[in-house]
Amino acid sequence: MNSSQQQTSAAASDVWLNLGFLHEAVHNFSDKGCLEHFWACVCRNSRWVVPAKCMCVIMRTDPNSFRIVGRLERGNFYEPEDTIYAIQDNFVGQALQTNGVRWFRAPWQESSGCPLSDWIVENSPVAILSAPIQMGDEQVGAMLFGFRRIRKQDETMLGSMALGYSLYVGMTNSILQTTRELEKTNQQLEAEILERKQAQENLATARDQALEASRLKSELLAKVSHELRTPLGTILGYSEYLHDGIFGAMTNQQQQITYKIINSTNYLTNMVNDLLDQSHYESDDIALHPEWFPVKAWLAEVDTKMGVLAHKKGLRLSFDIDDALPVHVYGDKDRLQQIIVNLTGNAIKFTEIGEVQIRLYCPTVSQWAIQVIDSGPGIPFEAQGYIFEPFRQIDGSETRRHSGTGLGLSITKQLVNQMGGEIQLKSEVGQGSTFTVLLPLKVKEEIGE
């Protein structure tokens, strides 16, 4: 290579683009601000394939303004400028509004008052080639390449090279934007997954804590109830001895007092029994003991227990047994009696005038039913959804008229469910209430007897 060729090669290598650098640098921007820094890096490190003498990159700041983000001339890089310039009707303005490559001849003729006038005077280009900078479908800037000499036959080749460069960068930019968006979406999904996982762990922790608290509550109820039953039984026993005159005759006033003691002790005993049952249900510690028993004799025991309460309130307590019901049924008669006593006791408690009716019948060939009907005040619709929950009452205020723990219906429903049955409620305010317990009807052949 002779000295003339070496000089030409050196001049042409002033602005050669290193595509490897471009590939690395283009991954450092994802928005317009980053893009400006990218082009500054391109200017600083370029070895352009187009044998241009100088290079300048301009970027729009808005539809009517631009700034210079980098200049390369005589091997020197000039840092981006902060000054914002208005887009005018000269070669700069046209370059920012041209989607393709464009040649500008004799640019010094249009450089008067142009922000690039010093760049043009310093480098004295005879022609400027502009190539657009794209972000997606939007033109955000332009690359300007200045040539001191240019041959007519080279114009098409140089324009194609510049356009190819522009398309490469635009395509890379679009790919990068899509990649960044996917990365952002992926990060959001990972954050959501992490958040949901944390929420699930928190729910699991809360569930475990709630279960442990429920277990401890059930243990406490069981222990307290068990410890109370013995002294209450003692109080009840001695009160009944006193009332019956076992330890000697008593005056009427003394009998009235012992009668109140007996009633209060029975009330507390029933409450303790309910608490104990509830604790056993919550710990799955209730066992049924089914057997065949005569229906009429079993119902007579209910009459003995509940008839006195109904009579004291002036209520009529009636019983009706369907002829289709077998003489003997199979079940835990004590727990079944607890169910019917709970329902009948509630009916008597809340009914002031009228009657309470108990029906036993067969709604289907595979079921038998216990139905308790009262003429009481009825249950509001909004309360019918929660009255079977533990410790819930229609009137839960401290000034409520009727006493109780709110466990009777809860225990009743749990017993019915354990027996494989269901309990139904039909009630309207002012029309009374009807509780129906549906239970499986077994025959001796089904249980091998």
pLDDT tens sequence for the chain (449 residues): 444 333 333 333 333 333 333 334 344 444 445 455 555 555 555 444 445 677 788 888 888 999 888 777 766 667 777 889 898 888 888 888 887 778 888 777 766 667 888 778 778 888 888 888 777 667 788 888 888 777 776 666 666 666 666 666 666 666 766 777 888 888 899 999 999 999 998 888 888 887 777 666 666 666 666 566 667 777 777 787 787 788 888 888 888 888 788 877 877 777 777 666 666 666 566 778 899 999 999 999 888 888 888 888 889 999 999 999 999 999 999 889 889 988 998 899 889 899 999 999 999 999 999 999 999 888 888 888 788 887 666 554 443 454 555 677 888 888 899 899 999 999 988 889 999 999 999 876 555 44
In a domain, 174, yes or no: no
In a domain, 155, yes or no: no
Q: What is the pLDDT of residue 264?
A: 78
Last residue of a domain, one of 124, 150, 176: 150
Residues 114 and 258 in one domain: no
- Sign for the CA dihedral angle at 325, 326, 330, 334 comes to positive
In terms of C-beta density within 10 A (0-12 exposed, 13-18 middle, 19 or more buried), how is residue 119 classed?
buried
We report the CATH number of the domain holding residue 77 as 3.30.450
304 and 275 co-located in one domain? no
Fill in the amino acid letter for 126: V
Domain end position, chosen among 264, 282, 300: 282
How many structural domains does the chain have? 3
Predicted pLDDT at 166: 60
| pLDDT given at position 391 | 64
Token code pair at residue 240? 């009944």
Distances (CA, A) of 268 to 191, 199, 233, 264, 337: 56, 44, 10, 6, 19
Same domain, 100 and 42: yes
Calpha distance 288→415 (Å, rounded): 9
Same domain? 274 vs 341: no
Q: Which of 111, 130, 150 is the last residue of a domain?
A: 150
* Residues 332 and 442 occupy one common structural domain: yes
Q: Is residue 195 part of a domain?
A: no
With beta carbons less than 8 A apart as the criterion, state whether 313 and 352 touch. yes
How far apart, in whole angstroms, are the C-alpha atoms of residue 29 and residue 38? Answer: 7
**337 & 434 share domain:** yes
Residues 306 and 422 in one domain: yes
| Cα(166)–Cα(169) distance, integer angstroms | 5
Please indicate, yes or no, if residue 10 is contained in any of the structural domains. Answer: yes
Write down the pTM of the prediction.
0.46
Question: Is 126 domain-assigned?
Answer: yes
What angle separates helix 152-243 from helix 252-282, to the nearest 10 degrees?
Answer: 150
Instruction: Note the pLDDT of residue 440.
Output: 93
The residue range of the domain holding 304 is: 291-447
User: What is the DSSP secondary structure assignment for residue 30, as one 8-state letter?
Assistant: S
pLDDT of residue 25: 39
Q: Sign of the C-alpha dihedral, residues 167, 169, 175, 181? A: negative
Paired sense of beta strands 433-440 and 367-374, if any: antiparallel
What's the rounded Cα separation, in Å, for the pair 415 and 286? Answer: 9
Q: Are residues 270 and 305 in the same domain?
A: no
Calpha distance 97→103 (Å, rounded): 13
Quick check: is 236 in a domain? yes
- Regarding whether 226 and 119 lie in a shared domain, the answer is no
Strands (E), 74-212: 76-78, 85-86, 102-105, 127-135, 138-147
Q: What is the structure's pLDDT at 400?
A: 45
- Is 177 part of any domain? no
Q: Is the dihedral of CA 78, 79, 82, 85 positive or negative?
A: positive
Buried b (16+ CB within 10 A) or exposed e, 322-361: eeebeeebbbbbebbbbbbbbbbbbbbbbbeeeebbbbbb
Residue 248 region by backbone torsions, left for phi larger than 0, else alpha for psi between -120 and 50, else beta: left
One domain for residues 439 and 298:
yes
Write the CATH number for 328: 3.30.565.10
Is the domain of 327 the same as that of 388?
yes
Q: Is residue 321 situated within a structural domain?
A: yes
- Specify whether 313 is located in the same domain as 441: yes
